[in-house]
Chain A
Amino acid sequence: MKLALIVATICSLFLGSCSKGPEVVVYTALDLAFSEPILKRFERETGISVRILSDTEATKTTGLVNKIIAMKDRQEADVFWNNEVVRTILLKRKGLLEKYLPEAAKDIPANYKDPEGYWTGFAARARVILINTDMVKEGSEPASIEDLAKPEWKGKVALANPLFGTTSTHAAALFATLGAERAKRLFLSLKENDVRIVAGNAMARNMVMNGEIAICLTDTDDANGAYLKQKPVRMIYPDQGNEQRGMLVIPNAVALIKGAPNPENGKRLIEFILSAQVEQELAKSPSAQLPVRKGIAPYSEIFSLDKIKVMAADYEKTADALDESTRFVQETFLR
């Protein structure tokens, strides 16, 4: 009798985990605070149950990428919603994505889409300089990444760990755009200027917000987080001069996973995520994502791509440079 009860309990645990209707599984690297309401709305509107797996600040996006790689022979996920693009390209190169050309992406500029149709970009972030206005005199602000290596900023600049996240993407983009030698000189000059390497963009932002440090390199969503807390900070778009390279823009990227258990539902979800309405929602959210489409109102004027000189970064070349740039920053900063 006892044994039967135990067996019945165990069986009910497993039966309870079986899905009863249509579902789609999405791995999302975008902060849950912004991605979850959108995914839940899809669930309500379509009746398709959405199972979400999000990443953590601790694993910096790559936990989901590792899981997709590890489960390549038995995928759980249908859709990968990345908050950057380079690791989506890595998955494509490993043959883990399925080609899909969404209808909803027709009005997204070509430079934010994979030419072969494996991923689509939208709702971007930009790499910016954030300063504490109490610690940096007006008129003396750094205007470029190279300015951060100037003597007056020695020991006063924080940078998120360049091995991971958007900082690693930025490092790879600099290697791809400037060339390896020039990029290495830039990073060595930052190291010689005692740049502080911290755990993540949010931590770098917090240090500037709280007056622990004067300047950091971070993303626009982190910068807006500081504005929302009404801290004495200002965001600067680096390298905006006529002869300068412009600022790196990193879009979200959504892709269909090869071997997805629910590919048709996955495609419906991708169409939903790539809709103008969702991009508008993300633009107006506290993360102030920069719309890549025309006609989407930004969070505010300072968060509009129209007002910014964007770095002409080729994301495929950035992905090519990722390995070399990562090894270099590892040797340089991880000591």
Chain B
Amino acid sequence: MNNRGTASGIVIGALLILLLPGAVMFAFSIVSPEGGISFKAYEHVLSDSRQIALFQRSVMIAGATTLLALAIGLPVGYAIARLPAPWAMTIAILCPIPLMIPSLVIALGWITLFGNAGTVTTVLQNMMNMTSPLFTVYGEAGTSIVMALCYFPCVALISAAAFRSVDARMVSAAELVASPARVFRSVILRLALGPIAIGAVLTFLLAFGDFGVPSVFGVNVYPIEIFTSFNAYHDFQAGIAQSLPPVLLAVVLMIFAVAIAHRSAGNFVGGDWRPIERWEKNRRSLSLFLFALLVTASSSLLPIALLVSSCGSLSTFQRAMETAAPQVIASFETALAACLTIVVVGATVALLLRYSSRRLRWTVFALLGFLLAIPASVTGMGILALHTRGWIPDAFYRSGTTTVIADVCRFAPFSILIIWQSLTAIGSDVEYPALLAGISRPRTALRILLPLSLTGVGAAAIVSFIFPLGELGASVLVNPAGGMTLPSRICSLLHFGEEGIVAALCLTICLLVLIPYTLGLLLFNRIMEFRIVGKD
């Protein structure tokens, strides 16, 4: 790219395409029945104390979830980055499992254990000879804890990639004069602060938008207002208008996170860069391993164990596959197509942002906040609106491409942010020799920058596969008839399907992710080893 204007143009074009469904719906929200402009739908947004209280509660719950997710996610991320390879691999495989299972299913699992008549609750009551439960899992605290266990992998995976990118030379130099704890606080954490901030914002937005888990624990939150407008009143304009406060909040948070990322940038990957060294097997690494194992096992193996026990037998699994095989295949294909598209879009936009003006970068990040906070229903409705107006051909709709489009619109921001953040750690001096030698910018980007940001690309790929595989909010609207995805099937069976079948299908989602993810991890580790060994 020898023209900053070209880079900016492509970035803007890509963003406009991603924004189109949401923009169409927001435009629709200000059109009056007579055809003119009207802001009537916005008059009642946060206009009464009830709505304000719900919004405040949502912010508090999402905030508490984020803090808890950071408290458990950062040590887990550090464990993945620094533990001896076999231990790190174990944690890395278990870590993303909570993202693969619908959060509603995880919440119901915790109720089975800790509800008023839950297994653990009953045992504790009997042990202590009590007539009522020792504690209640219902309420805001229970909601925050369970959502933290659902979403901490976002923090863990992003921070693991960031910790791994920290230059080992810096750490070694610091360790000559400071204790390991101080080195972690003052060097490693500081250099990884940018990605951690972005991971925290992503976790906050996921928690804010989740109303399934709160509803299981009897907590009312603001997103239910939006859901109510769409699904109880069928008042799309009101629903879109009510989406505005969370969208504005997301924009502010995103700008804040990116500001932190800019301040903390300074870890230059390039030249003789080596990733941070892994610890030897000793007491320190064992302690961290046990903590990380406790967190990942309780958040992943526990719901898996409940699912396996619900599933009961292999024959139930077989029956589930026989009835849902088309949905399994469709979901896998859609998620794979979405993942490839999202990673390509993410890498392209992130690379181009590197060459864009500072003003454009800030605008893009603000718009990414907008994209992240738009409710799934709004994105789905927007895509349907484009389809009914002929902008999206029927063949695209019937082939399920609209589902991929919905996934890209919803999850490309994750990919853009994660990859961009890993690119900021690469110094500009890395490109100069190639440019001086006459290599074009696109080739330099592909051959030098992207390989150096492989950890970020890998983290983006994981997230870009898991989220589309489990996406429900937009896909229930944009899926064509006959093109049901696996999450839709699971949720349609939750009411009156056999529990065993539901559990078997949830386990299928886990396997669909775990198998390629584990293979990808092994391959990734081989590539990283080769790069380091090859340098020597």
Contact = CB atoms under 8 A, between A and B. Distances in A.
Interface stretch (B31-39, B287-295, B483-491): B483-491
A220 interface: no
Given A32-B489, A330-B228, A56 B388 contact: no
Contacts of A74: 387-388, 390
A333 to B, nearest CB: 8
A13 B400 CA distance: 10
A52 interface: yes
A53 B231 contact: no
Interface string B52-76: 0110000000000000000000000
A90 B396 CA distance: 30
Contacts, number: 158
A88 interface: no
Interface string A51-72: 1111111111011011101111
B117 A211 contact: yes
B104 A58 contact: yes
B202 to A, nearest CB: 22
B233 A56 contact: no
Interface residues of B, number: 54
A140 interface: no
A202 B234 contact: no
A65 B492 contact: no
B477 A163 contact: no
A52 B53 contact: no
B232 interface: yes
Contacts of B491: 56-58
Interface string B392-406: 000111111100000
A200 B495 contact: yes
A142 to B, nearest CB: 20
A331 B50 contact: yes
B215 A31 contact: no
Interface string B363-396: 0000000000000010001001101111000011
Contacts of B384: 67, 70-71
B53 A70 contact: no
Interface stretch (B144-152, B217-225, B274-282, B342-350): B217-225
B43 to A, nearest CB: 16
Given A163-B228, A212-B116, A18 B395 contact: yes
Contact of A32 (B50, B218, B493): B493
A76 B481 contact: yes
B481 A25 contact: yes
Nearest to B111: A212
Given A14-B399, A211-B117, A60 B231 contact: yes
Interface string B402-421: 00000000000000000000
A interface majority secondary structure? mixed
A70 B383 CA distance: 10
Interface stretch (A177-185, A191-199, A263-271, A306-314): A191-199
Nearest to B399: A17
B380 to A, nearest CB: 8
Contacts of B236: 66, 69-70
A14 B481 contact: no
Contacts of B488: 54, 56
B273 interface: no
A213 B489 CA distance: 29
B215 A161 contact: yes
Nearest to A285: B496
A100 interface: no
A116 interface: no
Nearest to B498: A33
Contacts of B218: 196-198
B216 A67 contact: no
B330 to A, nearest CB: 11
A33 B117 CA distance: 29
A13 B393 CA distance: 14
Contacts of B228: 163, 326, 330, 334
A334 B476 contact: no
Contacts of B481: 25-27, 51-53, 76-77
A145 interface: no
A71 B491 CA distance: 23
B215 to A, nearest CB: 4
Contacts of B390: 74
A17 B234 contact: no
B398 A164 contact: no
A264 to B, nearest CB: 18
A26 B395 CA distance: 19
Interface centre among B224, B389, B476, B492 (most CB of A within 10 A): B492
B140 to A, nearest CB: 13
Interface string A193-220: 0001111111100000011110000000
B476 to A, nearest CB: 5
Contacts of A334: 50, 54, 220, 224-225, 228
A70 B232 contact: no
Contacts of A213: 116
Contact of A59 (B54, B104, B116, B476): B476
Contacts of A72: 388
A323 B233 contact: yes
B495 A53 contact: no
Contacts of A53: 479-482, 484
A42 to B, nearest CB: 14
A213 B400 CA distance: 43
Contacts of A164: 231-232
B319 to A, nearest CB: 12
Contacts of B476: 55-56, 58-59, 63
A271 B377 CA distance: 33
Contacts of B398: 14, 17-18
Given A34-B496, A57-B492, A199-B216, A66 B381 contact: yes
A21 interface: no
5 contacts: A53-B484, A71-B388, A90-B234, A161-B215, A199-B104
Closest 7 CB pairs of A and B: A51-B482, A56-B491, A17-B399, A62-B231, A51-B481, A53-B481, A31-B496
